[in-house]
Amino acid sequence: MAKTKVAKKKASAKKKAPAAKKAPTKKKKAASLKTKATTGSVDAFLDSLDTTRAAECKVLVEMMRKATGAEPKMWGSAIVGFGNWRYEYDSGREGDFFQVGFSPRKGALTLYIVRGYENHTDLLAKLGKHTTGKACLYVKRLADVDRSVLSQIIKRGVAEVVAGGKA
């Protein structure tokens, strides 16, 4: 009996009709950037953090304020950004973003340098305990890194954005 069931399954699998071809779809409009500047209070956001993380964030605020000459703004509900950067992709898509920023995530402080970290390998080698993504630098605690080196990375990142170019 078991052999019969197997044979029936194989036979029915062979009888399936070919999949219908999908009709061509229109090109989708480029998605807009989800993270946008808000009117939220940076001070209120930092005050909502535990005291250790808030103290680390205040150090980052001073480093980034000094590097950009700009005051901090909330971007979305959990990112503090500095300065303005008007970007344009080769596709023609344009938008506004911050030059440098950070977010006190649960696992690590996440620092955003929008042009990425590939030109910072010399400084990253001296930084201390960290990991990176394309445009993110993850630091568990500021005590794990050399703050002087971190400040240099932030300044260099801002300089790259100010120098311009397409995203």
Taking Cα atoms as reference points, which of 132, 159, 161 lies closest to residue 145? 132
pLDDT (0 to 100) of residue 163: 84
pLDDT (0 to 100) of residue 28: 45
pLDDT (0 to 100) of residue 118: 86
- DSSP string computed for 58-69: HHHHHHHHHHHS
pLDDT (0 to 100) of residue 27: 47
Sorted by where each starts, the structural domains of the chain and their CATH numbers stand as 42-163 (3.90.1150.200)
pLDDT (0 to 100) of residue 24: 53
Taking Cα atoms as reference points, which of 130, 129, 138 lies closest to residue 111? 138
Task: Please state the pTM of the whole predicted model.
Answer: 0.76
pLDDT (0 to 100) of residue 61: 98
What are the mean pLDDT values of the chain's consecutive 10-residue runs (167 residues total)? Answer: 50 54 51 73 96 96 97 96 82 83 95 88 97 94 97 94 69
pLDDT (0 to 100) of residue 19: 57
